[in-house]
Structure 1
Amino acid sequence: MPDESPTTLRPATVRPTSLAETAAAVEAAAAEQRSLLFTGAGTALSWGAPVTGTDVVLETTGLDRLVGHAAEDWTVSVEAGMPLSRLQQLLAPSGQWLPLDPPTERAGATLGGLLAGGDTGPRRLKYGGLSDLVIGATLVLADGSVVRTGSGVIKNVAGYDLAKLMAGSLGAFGLIARLTLRVHPLPEATATLTLAVPDPAQALVTARAAMRSPLEPVAVEWDGQQLLVRFHGTADSAAARGRLAADIPELAAARVLDTDAEQAAWERLSGLVHGEDGDTVLRAGTHPSLLPILHRRLRALAEDAGVEATLVSGVAQGVHTLRLRGGDAGTHAACLTAWREAAHEAGGSVTLRRRREGVDAVAASWGPAPPTAPVLRSLKQQFDPDGRCAPGRFAPWF
Structure 2
Amino acid sequence: MTTTTRLRPTDLRSLRDAVLDTAGTIGIAGAGTAAGWAGTLRPVDAVLDTTGLTGVITHNPGDMTVSVRAGTPLRQLQEELAPHGQHVSFDAARIADGATVGGLFATADAGPAALVFGSLRDLVIGVTIVLADGTVARSGGHVIKNVAGYDLAKIVHGSYGTLGVLAEVVLRLHPMPARAATLAVHCSLDEAAGHAATVLGGPYEPAAMEWTSDGVLLIRLEGTADALDARLLRLREALGTGELLELPSLSDERRVRRIGTDESAVRREGTERGLPENLGTGPEPGDVPPAEPAAPPFDERRARRIGTDERAVRRNAAWERHASLVRGVPRLASLRIGVRPSRLPAVLADLPAEAITAGLGTGVATVALPTEAVGAAHARVHAAGGTSVLRSRPAEADAPAWGPPPSAIAVLRAVKAQLDPQGRFGPGRFDTWM
Please say whether Structure 1 and Structure 2 have the same fold, judged by a TM-score greater than 0.5. yes
Aligned-partner Cα distance in 1 for 2:330–2:168: 31
Query: Could you tell me which amino acid in structure 1 is paired with residue 368 of structure 2?
Result: R
- Among 168, 173, 180, the residue aligned to 2:170: 180
Q: Deviations over 1:246-291 (max 9, x none)?
A: 331xx12112112221111111111111115543100001122223
**Kept after mapping to 2: 8 A contact 1:282/1:352:** yes
Query: What letter matches 1:59 in structure 2?
Result: D
The reply on whether 1:259 has 2:312 as its aligned counterpart is: yes
The answer to whether the 8 A contact 1:294-1:339 is kept is no
Query: Counterpart in 2 of 1:96?
Result: 86
Tell me the equivalent position of 1:395: 431
Aligned-pair CA distance for 1:167:
0.6
Confirm whether residue 384 of structure 1 aligns to residue 377 of structure 2.
no
2:176 aligned partner, one-letter code:
L
For structure 2, the residue ranges without an aligned partner over 5 or more in a row are: 246-310
Q: Does 1:25 align with 2:13?
A: no
Q: How does 1:350-369 map to 2 (within 5 A)?
A: 350-360=388-398, 363-369=399-405
Q: Deviations over 1:133-176 (max 9, x none)?
A: 11111111111210111023333323211011011000000111
Q: Distance between the aligned counterparts of 1:191 and 1:108, measured in 2? A: 25
Residues 202-230 of structure 1 show CA distances to partners (whole Å, capped at 9, x for unaligned) of: 21111010011111001111112111111
- 2:212 — aligned with what? 223
Q: Return the alpha-carbon distance in structure 2 between the equivalents of residues 175 and 74 of structure 1.
A: 26
**Counterparts of 1:175 and 1:90, CA distance in 2:** 25
Number of residue pairs matched by the alignment: 368
What is aligned with 2:190? 201
1:201–1:291 CA contact under 8 A, matched in 2? no
Does the C-alpha gap of structure 1 residues 277 and 140 become closer, same or farther in structure 2, counting only changes over 3 Å?
farther
What RMSD over aligned residues (CA atoms) do the two structures have, in Å? 1.3
The one of 30, 33, 37 aligned to 1:40: 30
CA displacement, residues 321-371 of structure 1 (integer Å, 9 cap, x when unaligned) = 1113xxxxxxx33211122211111111101010112222xx322211111
Counterpart Cα distance in 2 of 1:276 and 1:140: 35
Counterpart amino acid of 2:389?
A: T
1:238-257 to structure 2, matched below 5 A, reads 238-248=228-238, 251-257=239-245
Contact 1:193-1:256 at 8 Å conserved across structures = yes
How does 1:90-239 map onto structure 2 within 5 Å? 90-198=80-188, 200-224=189-213, 225-239=215-229
Are the structure 2 counterparts of residues 175 and 335 from structure 1 closer, same or farther at C-alpha, using a change threshold of 3 Å? same
Q: Which amino acid aligns with 2:388?
A: V
Pairing 1:310–2:360 present: no
C-alpha distance after superposition, 1:50-95 (max 9, x if no partner): 0112111101110001101010111101000000000000000000
Q: Residues 276, 12 of structure 1: CA spacing in aligned structure 2 closer, same or farther, 3 A cutoff?
A: farther
Counterpart selection for 2:364 from 319, 322, 325: 319
Q: Which residue of 2 is the match for residue 305 of structure 1?
A: none
Q: Which residue of 2 aligns with 1:274?
A: 327
- 8 A contact 1:46–1:354 mirrored in 2: yes
State the TM-score, normalizing by the size of structure 1. Answer: 0.90
State the partner residue of 1:343. 381
Contact 1:204 1:316 in 2 (8 A): no
* Percent identity of equivalent pairs: 43
Shift of 1:111: 0.3
Structure 1 CA distance for aligned equivalents of residues 13 and 21 of structure 2: 12
TM norm structure 2: 0.82
Letter in 1 for 2:428: G
Partner Cα separation in structure 2 for residue 276 and residue 67 of structure 1 = 37
Tell me which of 287, 307, 321 is aligned to 2:340: 287
Distance 1:339 1:183 in 2: 36
Write the distance in 1 (CA, Å) between the matches of 2:349 and 2:63: 48
Check whether the contact 2:378–2:402 (CA below 8 A) recurs between aligned residues.
no
Letter in structure 2 aligned against 1:252: G
Corresponding position: 1:374 with 2:367: no
Deviations 1:84-132 (A, max 9, x none): 0000000000000001100111111100001100000000000011111
